[in-house]
Structure formats: structure tokens, C-alpha cells
Amino acid sequence: MTIIRFGYVAMSMNLQHASPSQTMTHKQFSGLKDEEAAIRKLERIAVSNIENCLRLLKHNVLHDIHFFRFSSKLIPLANHPDLAGWDFLTPLLPALGEIRSYLREHPMRVDFHPDHFVLLNSTDPQVMKNSLKTLRMHEGILDAMGIDPLHRCVLHVGGAHGDKEKAMEQFIHNWGLTPEGIQRMIMLENDDTVFSAFDALYLCEKLGVPLVFDLHHHMANEERDWTLDWTRVVATWKDSPLPLKMHISSPRSADDFKAHADYIDPHDFLGFLRQVEGSVDRIDCMIEAKQKDNALFKLMEELVQEEGVRRVDGSTIEIG
């Protein structure tokens, strides 16, 4: 038997005025004549984002949801070069402390998926520098929330730069330049265009990093049958205190296969579950669907109708 817990990404379709990604553009910032006042406005936006995160966590507890991805856009312009001297974290510590206290009372698996411009295989020193700066920001936020940063940030391998093998070796080279504190945060994910699950697995095994297997990405970029490597995927999590994590989504259409649909196709996913049942005690599945928590609720209702699937709580099933 295997326990499957579902989570969702960043924001709820059921909470009003609870965006954790409110922002201010650099143009808007530059348009304010008083820079100090502009910075205070940025801080108010960031505090509002964090307060909305707390609302989302409370929503999750109410609905027995134990797995959640925070938005990586909590702090607008945090890494913009024009604000290089801005100590953005200190003013946010009280709001982050509220999340720390809440998670202490209501434990929940939470993590981040930094944006696509975070590239650890870049050959451009400035891109690498900015990527590390962004990851340090995530590390600081996690620490202020009282969360051990270990295996809390999902990254793609990066760009191929015209030579996939060379790009993978560049990742290994840059990994040696990456501070240990950031290394321990990282999980790698296969993508839907360049780096297959087989590619990402090679790097994960070489560097001691867990693989977040994305089933939809694999369907779009299949190098070989995933079942041949499933035991190896599971093994990348052997030294993590967290259960194996994967991403699930469904194609929007046959013509727009890589785009995420509003909901999850329960039959395709159930077929996957039937194959992995019993291979691991628990899998935490992050739902990447346009309808967010509504997609989670709908998938739960559909799966518990199937033979051999038992509801554990509002976001958890047991199969087998």
C-alpha cells in the first residue's frame, strides 16, 4: 500500500483578496520621487503577501491539506540591482514569525519553485550570481519561517545552450561553486523540452540531489520508459527526511500538450499509481493545475470512487 498526499501551488481559488504575489514594477518604483517612501511601499506589499500566505495555510488546515508551495514572488524587486542595498528581510520578520508560529502548531510540508531565470548551469557569471542571490533569498525566508531549508527548492536543470551534454557538465561545474547551504535546498525536476527524467536522474545521482519526477513533463519529453528508472528515482530520496515528491498535471489539449489543464485527468494518474503502488510508503504529489485547490478537491472526489482507493482525509488517499 502507498499513501498519496496532494498539494497545490501558491494561491487558492476559494479565498478572496488573498494573492501572495502582489507586486510593484521597477517602472512604478522609479516613478515615486521619494525612494525611501517607495521602499516602504515595497515592504508593505511584501507584508501583505506574507499575511495572505498565512491565510492560505489556515485554509489548508481547514481542508486537511498538508502540502503547499509558496509563491516565489513574495518580495517584489528583492533582487533588482537598483535596490542592492535594501535589507528586505528584517522588516518582514514579524510577519514571517507569524507563519513560523502557525506551522509549529500545524505542521505542513511547504516549499518553493524559484522562477525559470534561476539557472545553475549558466555559463554567464552574472546569471549565476543572480541565481545564487535569489536562492539565498529563499533560504532566508525559509529560515525566518522556522523551516529547515533542506530539499525545499525545486529547480530545472536549465538551458541546453545548443549542447545538452555540455550543459549538464556545466551544471556539475557550477555546483562546485554553489555554497553548501544552497546545495542542500535543491531538488531537481525533469522538464518538458530538453532535460528528460533520465538526464535529471543522472545529475541527481552524481550530486546526491533528490529528483522531483514530473509525470506530465515526462509524457512530453520521454527519452525512455519511466518504469525502468523508478527504483532509482525512489533511491534519490533515501537520505532525505521528506517523502518522495513529484509533480502532476494534465495536458490542456492534444494541440497544446505542454500547457497545464484546469484539472487533473484522474484516469491517466490512476494508471501511474497502479504501477508504483507498494514501491514506496508515501508520495507527496504537487498538483500543477490552473484551478489550484479546486483541482485538488475534484481529483480527490474522482479517485475515491475507484476500486482499491481509500480516502484518508481531505487531501490524502491510500492505494492498494
What pLDDT does residue 161 have? Answer: 84
What pLDDT does residue 31 have? Answer: 87
What pLDDT does residue 4 have? Answer: 98
Q: Provide CB contacts within 8 A for 73, sequence distance 6+.
A: 20, 21, 23, 49, 115
Q: What is the dihedral of CA 115, 189, 288, 133, to 10 degrees?
A: -20
Please name which of 294, 289, 300, 193 lies closest in space to residue 250, comparing C-alpha atoms.
289
Q: Grid coordinates standing for 223?
A: 527519452
What ranges do the domains of the chain cover?
2-319
Residue 319 and residue 282: Cα distance in Å, rounded? 10
Yes or no: say if 24 and 41 are a contact pair by the CB < 8 Å rule: yes
Please name which of 20, 24, 43, 23 lies closest in space to residue 32, comparing C-alpha atoms.
24
What pLDDT does residue 170 have? Answer: 97
* CATH architecture of the domain with range 2-319: Alpha-Beta Barrel (3.20)
Residue 107 and residue 280: Cα distance in Å, rounded? 22
What pLDDT does residue 32 have? Answer: 87
Cα(first)–Cα(last) distance of the chain, in Å?
Answer: 4
Q: Grid coordinates standing for 250?
A: 494534465
Yes or no: say if 210 and 204 are a contact pair by the CB < 8 Å rule: yes
- Tens digit of each residue's pLDDT, the chain (320 residues): 999 999 999 999 999 999 999 999 999 988 888 889 999 999 999 999 999 999 999 999 999 999 999 999 999 999 898 888 899 999 999 999 999 999 999 999 999 999 989 999 999 999 999 999 999 999 999 999 999 999 999 999 999 988 999 999 999 999 999 999 999 999 999 999 999 999 999 999 999 999 999 999 999 999 999 999 999 999 999 999 999 999 999 999 999 999 999 999 999 899 999 999 999 999 999 999 999 999 999 999 999 999 999 999 999 999 98
